[in-house]
Every structure is written in structure tokens, then in C-alpha cells.
Chains A and B, each alone.
Chain A
Amino acid sequence: MPDTDRLNATFAALADPTRRAILARLALGETSVQKLAEPFAISLPAISRHLKVLEHAGLISRGRDAQMRPCRIDTAGLIGVDHWLEEYRKLWRESMDKLEGYLAVMKAQQQAEGDAPQKKTRSVKRQGTGHARKD
């Protein structure tokens, strides 16, 4: 299972529509923060906060150029989500295999209890047998 802190950050980052819009814009190519902010009716500092969240989530990376610091999309975050989904699919697949075996155990236990000398259970069993004979 992947790093859950990063995964948490990725899920939280993707839950916000503005951040998804930023990612959609960045998918067209890398750009500066100023250019990125243009289509949004929010302040530059607000955009910067969103970018920090996206960067922490592994969804974008920032260039080293001190003045420009261009933003580009990063696949690490989405790959994390993909891994988590794959692990979860595996969890179900393998749990269901194990459940099949365990149900056989439960059935055997139930049967053993049914065969135990308990009046109530026995009478139910006899009824069942009688019914089968009629057919």
C-alpha cells in the first residue's frame, strides 16, 4: 500500500474544483503562476495556496527558476491513487477467496451444532427428512 499521508493529500487536493481546474489548465502545458491565475476570479496569494496543496499532493511540480517558478503537472499523485485502487481491488479479490474457504468452515460448524443432541434442532431435522420422503 502506498504512503497514506501522500494519498490523503492527493485525495484532498482533488476534492476541490478550483484545483481540478488548475490541473486541467496545466495539462495543456507548463506555465507561470501569473498566467495560471488569469482565468480565475481569485487573488494571486489564493492561487499560490492552491498550488502548494497540489505540489504537496504530488500533482504538480515547480520549476527552479526563482522568478518564474513555472508549474507543470506531475503524475506521482495520480500514480499513488492508481496504486491504492489496485491494492484495494486485490484486497477484495483475495478476501473473497478466503471468505469462500471460511464459509465452508462456518457451514461445517453449523452442521455440527445441528447434529448435536439438542431437541429443538433435531425436530427441525426430522421435519426436513419427512418432507423429502413425501416427494
Chain B
Amino acid sequence: MPAKTSLDLNDPVSIKGTREFDAPVELVFAAFTDVKHLSQWWGPNGFTTTTSHFEFREGGTWRFVMHGPDGRDYENRVTFDIIEPNRRIAYHHGGGDDGEPIRFSQTVTFEDIGGGRTRIVWHGVFPNAEMRDFVIKEHGAAKGLQETTARLAGYVATMMRS
């Protein structure tokens, strides 16, 4: 059975994926807009979610704790930047005084593909392009370092020239 979720692995520091659902776009969007729905499906397998604050508007935040199967809790804070009903949601993680990895942005687009079906595309990026490029290059380099430090030097030499 082929994977239902397609992931773009060309860019090692972004999180990009596409998925099609057999449901109309209004219904899929609704699943994202209400905590009552979100708590039913958001999170990796084995996780449950407790929401302390949810305000689905531009500038509003969603604060929640993800309870892992290992008993650990993970604090989350999401701020909604753009909300276009049935089309697009953009948000970012972290900020403020919580322990979330800072400055990671995510966009989710919704597309009516006909026949009562919907395509979702999610894309997460570092907002700072230089930081992102650095992680791409050094990340590749770091993997090389595990085998040989010479490879790392090669990567960086290329990086310095570019």
C-alpha cells in the first residue's frame, strides 16, 4: 500500500507534505478551527492533548500540553498569523516565555479538488533564510562528520565560495 502522505525530502530543514481527504473543504477546515475537533486528531500516535487557551483568530493563540505515551508533557504555544476560511492558516510556534523551539513558522493550505475532496499542503520553515540555509549545509555536513571530518571541511569550503 503506497504512503498516503507525500513528503518533500529535498529540503532537510523544512517540513512539507501533501495529503488528500475524501471530505469537502469546509469540513476539513472546520476540523482545524475548533478545539473540540482538534483534540480528536492532533498529535502523534499515543499522545493526548489538553488545551488551556484557544482563540482562533489572527493574532490569537492556542496553548496546549501534549501528553506523551512515556508520561512526559510537552508545552506548546501556537500563534495564528493568517486565517483565510477554507483556504489557508499560517501560524508560528513559540515566543513568549515558554519552552518551545523558537521561531518556526507553519502554513497549511486547503484546496477543493472537486468530487467533495480536499487537498491539504503543510509547509514549515525557519523564518530566517540564512539560518535555514546554514542548517541545511551544516546539517548535511554534520552527518558527514560522523564518518569523516574531511567531508565537513569540503562542505564548508563550498559554502564559503557560494
Contacts and interface: CB of A to CB of B under 8 A. Distances in A.
A129 interface: no
A14 to B, nearest CB: 5
Contact of B41 (A7, A17, A23, A98): A98
Given A93-B17, A102-B31, A103-B31, A4 B100 contact: yes
Chain B interface residue number, banded: 35 or more
Contact of A14 (B44, B75, B135, B156): B135
A135 interface: no
B103 A103 contact: no
B43 A95 contact: yes
A102 B41 contact: yes
Contacts, number: 130
A40 interface: no
B31 A8 contact: no
Interface in A7-41: 7-8, 11-12, 14-15, 17, 20, 23-24, 27-29
A78 B139 contact: yes
A98 B19 CA distance: 12
Contact of B142 (A12, A75, A84, A90): A75
Contact of A27 (B44, B94, B138): B138
Interface of A: 1, 4-5, 7-8, 11-12, 14-15, 17, 20, 23-24, 27-29, 73, 75, 78-79, 81-82, 84-85, 87-107, 110
